[in-house]
């Protein structure tokens, strides 16, 4: 059985697995994504019931979610052959979510993990081709030394502008561009803003198949994304915002502070000193609220020990950086965030140099009080996207 984190005892949210924060948080993400058709409550509960006797066993987690994903993928293939494209699209979308939810906890990545991830990518591409709702392009962003960053470009809807504004949307510590899409990016697109969802170094395809490891100078990816958008004739490259989730509370503010072409910034969850976060987690022997196993950190840095990972984290600090920010800034945080406390959010918000800045705290009473509103993701998503619509004049 998994050891119960002390932080879980005070939880004010629904916990599917009361003794396991990590598993419960993952289920909450999937439940919230059902709002956009990326999961169904029945499918989640079907797997959850089978896992009740195996709480904390990540091999069982991987096995059960991939089993469900395999079944949906096979059904999607069958429906596509019958030209039932919309039915197939929905099946592929959910299969992608379940494959990636299964694979998140399997590190270091082995052949089974990589095979599941490739199936997830294939399912998302099939969904993108078959859906009638949004125009999704798979694009490659030129990066350093001949490398490229994989990304999704989703075209703005409900606008007459030939060159609408755009948002560069980065991942967090352990999510992916496909998950970002399936957890609400469509809401941004519906508001007349195109979105470029990027697997930067340390995330998604970039680390799994391109050996692009996590680095503190995240603005390298932000600048590359802006350079790419400037080549497109269907984007107003002078009205581009940047946003990111969870560890993205470091990525997005750093990008907006170091790359002045960004005209708005959203931190979906606060960060301040990420090295200290991990020092505290190590000191607690990982008996705290973690979204993935602790060894995920060594994998994304391509190092062997946590000591070496902590050295890599030396640069992941926002003090002395965010004071340089000048564009409008929005910070969202949950008052009961068990991964990153409210004191961190207050430090970040106070330090940001922008005159136009907004701090939105979600409470237990209204919902969305957990990490990045995992307990009610749509609440955070629509708040951010309405704010971006105003600031980018969509």
Q: Which fold has domain 134-394?
A: Rossmann fold (3.40.50)
pLDDT in tens, 44-96: 999 999 999 999 999 999 999 999 999 999 999 999 999 999 999 999 999 99
End-to-end, the C-alpha distance of the chain in Å comes to 50
Cis-peptide, bond into residue 354, ω within 30° of zero: no
What residue spans in the chain does CATH classification 3.40.50.1820 cover? 134-394
- Output the DSSP codes for 38-64: S--HHHHHHHHHHHGGGTT-HHHHHHH
Q: Would you place residue 41 in the very low, low, confident or very high pLDDT band (cuts 50, 70, 90)?
A: very high
Q: What is the pLDDT of residue 12?
A: 60
pTM for the structure as a whole: 0.95
Which of the residue ranges 271-280, 290-299, 339-348 would you say has the lowest mean pLDDT?
Answer: 290-299
Q: What is the pLDDT of residue 5?
A: 47
* Degrees, nearest 5: CA angle 248-193-187: 70
Judged against a pLDDT cut of 90, whether residue 360 lies above it is answered with yes
Q: Quick one: tokens of 350?
A: 């106070």
Phi-psi region of 246 (alpha: psi -120 to 50; beta: other; left: phi over 0): left
pLDDT in tens, 205-257: 999 999 999 999 999 999 999 999 999 999 999 999 999 999 999 999 999 99
Instruction: Convert 337-365 to b/e letters by CB count within 10 Å (16 or more is b).
Output: bbbbeeebbbbbbebbebeebebebbeee
Q: What is the pLDDT of residue 11?
A: 52
Q: Is the domain covering 20-133 a CATH 1.20.1440.110 domain? A: yes
What residue spans in the chain does CATH classification 1.20.1440.110 cover? 20-133
Q: What is the pLDDT of residue 250?
A: 98
How far is the C-alpha of 187 from the C-alpha of 387, rounded, in Å? 12
How far is the C-alpha of 98 from the C-alpha of 35, rounded, in Å? 15
């Amino acid at each position: 059985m998994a050891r119960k984190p002390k932080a879980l005892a005070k939880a004010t949210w629904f916990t599917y697995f009361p003794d396991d924060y990590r598993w419960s948080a993952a289920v909450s993400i999937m439940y919230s994504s059902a709002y956009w058709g990326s999961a169904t409550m029945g499918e989640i509960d079907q797997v959850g019931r089978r896992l009740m006797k195996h709480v904390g066993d990540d091999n069982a987690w991987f096995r059960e979610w991939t089993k469900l994903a395999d079944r949906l993928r096979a059904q999607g293939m069958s429906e596509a052959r019958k030209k039932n494209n919309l039915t197939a699209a929905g099946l592929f979308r959910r299969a992608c979510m379940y494959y990636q939810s299964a694979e998140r906890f399997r590190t270091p990545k082995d052949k089974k993990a990589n095979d599941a991830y490739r199936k997830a990518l294939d399912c998302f591409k099939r969904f993108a081709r078959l859906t009638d709702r949004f125009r999704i392009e798979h694009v490659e962003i030129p990066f350093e030394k001949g490398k490229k960053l994989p990304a999704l470009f989703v075209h703005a809807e409900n606008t007459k502008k030939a060159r609408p504004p755009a948002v560069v949307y980065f991942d967090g510590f352990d999510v992916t561009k496909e998950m970002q899409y399936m957890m609400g990016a469509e809401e941004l697109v519906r508001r007349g803003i195109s979105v470029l969802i990027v697997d930067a170094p340390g995330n998604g395809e970039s680390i799994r198949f391109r050996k692009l490891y996590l680095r503190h100078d995240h603005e390298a990816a932000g600048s590359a994304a802006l350079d790419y958008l400037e080549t497109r004739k269907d984007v107003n490259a002078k009205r581009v915002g940047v946003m990111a989730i969870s560890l993205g509370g470091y990525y997005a503010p750093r990008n907006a502070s170091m790359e002045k072409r960004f005209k708005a910034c959203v931190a979906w969850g606060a960060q301040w000193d990420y090295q200290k976060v991990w020092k505290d987690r190590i000191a607690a022997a990982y008996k705290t609220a973690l979204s993935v196993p602790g060894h995920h950190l060594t994998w994304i840095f391509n190092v062997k020990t946590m000591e070496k990972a902590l050295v890599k984290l030396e640069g992941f600090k926002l003090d002395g950086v965010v004071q340089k920010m000048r564009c409008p800034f929005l910070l969202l945080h949950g008052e009961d965030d068990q991964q990153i406390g409210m004191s961190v959010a207050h430090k970040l918000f106070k330090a940001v140099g922008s005159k136009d800045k907004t701090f939105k705290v979600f409470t237990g009473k209204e919902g969305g009080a957990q990490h990045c509103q995992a307990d009610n993701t749509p609440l955070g998503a629509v708040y951010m996207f309405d704010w971006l619509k105003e600031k980018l004049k969509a």
